[in-house]
Every structure is written in structure tokens, then in C-alpha cells.
Copies of this chain bind each other. A is one copy, B any other.
Amino acid sequence: MRYELYYWPGIQGRGEYVRLALEDAGAPYVDVARVPEKEGGGVAAMTRLLDGADTRRPPFAPPFLMAGRQLIGQTANILLFLGSRLDLAPRDAAGKLWAHQLQLTIADFLTEVHDTHHPLGPHLYYEQQRPAAKRRAKAFLAQRLPKFLDYFERVLRANAASGPGIVGARISYVDLSLAQVVAGLRYAFPSASRAALANCPRQCALHDEVFARPRLKRYLKSERRLPFNNDDLFRRYPELDG
């Protein structure tokens, strides 16, 4: 099975959580919007599926995945689907549901990260909403960031007897996502995340373990891994870094 991933070509964004799972599993895939348009790729190919009248089950937004003839949207839903196929999820039904629940909590966390630089909505540039962003970011760093990190640290601690990751005996797609969140926080909020992560040794260790996995190590050195940048979900604006 050769998967087709559709996501904005210039950012890691939410697509990165899917890329990390595909890369870690060594699954063959095409990052379609990064293929030149004249070869059938580009954003045009993505838009065709999003808006096409003949798309039977259209996603609302990228990322989405084509697996054979099945088109699947919503990051956490894609990972729910891929988790079993790529052997990156618990094998029992209750474990799968629990992993998915954690992934949905990561999704909520990411929405709040995004809102730090776009509290007034996606229709304005950051520069048009900077005072509001400062207020939102301040509250995020003071209250929400530690709340989320404490939660994940607690869940990691509770699973420590079973495995190296957050659920079950083996590394799962949730671990890959959580490691990516740690990397993103360090990029966006170098100062505030240093302080917050000082209380989260398990998340720091998980980050290192995940990105030391042979396939992910190679991926990070490849051109397929886009750099963090300020068009992305995690953005580095020093004035927002507490």
C-alpha cells in the first residue's frame, strides 16, 4: 500500500504527526502537495480533492490521507486508522481507544498553541493582532501549558512499568506526536518551555528516545523534514515567550 498524504507543502503543521508515523514505520508514501504540479502534485492536487464534486467523502481541511480508495481526514482520525496498520498502536480495542483519546488531547493542546499567535482568528495576520496575542500567550504559558504538560507527565509516569512510551508496551504514534510537541514548544517558546519542561523529565526523555529511532533520525536529516518556521503552528515570536 502506497499512501498519499495531502498537506500544505511549506510547513510541518498538523501533517507532521502523520508524516512521523509513516516515516517511523518505513511506510511508502507520497507527500502529494510537495510533488511538482506538472507531475500531478502541488496544492492544486489537494484542492481538487477538497473541493471536487466527485469526492465522495470530502475532508473539511488538510491533512488528509488517501489509502487505496479510502480518503481519511482529521489528523487524529488518520492516526487512528494508521496506528493499527503500521503497528504503532496497542492491539486491544480499549488500548486503541485510550491512545486515540490521548491523541485528541494533543490536538486540543495544539489548538491552544495556535491560538497564542492567532487569538482573533485566522483571517488576520499575527502583526494585526499582536496585543491580543500577548495577552493570550501569557495566560497560555502561565496556566494551560503546565496543565497539559503535567497531565502528559502523569500519564507517562503511570505507564512507566509497562513500556517506554505513554501507552502499552511499545512506542506508539502518540509518543511520536508528543515528542513532536516537545520539539515545537522548544522552538516556539525557548525560554518558557525550558522552565516548564524542567518538571517533565519523562517528556524530555521521550523526545530524545523518539528522535533517536533510526528511521526518524534519517528523516530529520532528510529534505522531507521541513524546518520549523513562522507560517506554522508553532511560531517563534520572542515577545510571546513569557
> A residues engaging B (CB < 8 A)?
56-60, 70, 72-74, 76-77, 80-81, 94, 97-98, 100-101, 104-105, 108, 111, 115, 119-121, 123-124, 132, 135-136, 139-140, 143-144, 148, 151, 154-155, 158
Contact = CB atoms under 8 A, between A and B. Distances in A.
A101 B120 contact: no
The A contact surface, by secondary structure, is helix
Contacts of A140: 121
Nearest to A56: B158
A70 B73 CA distance: 27
Nearest to A143: B123
A80 B108 contact: no
B151 A136 contact: no
A97 B115 contact: no
A58 B155 contact: yes
Nearest to A140: B121
B119 A139 contact: no
Contacts of A155: 57-58
A101 B121 contact: no
A72 B151 CA distance: 16
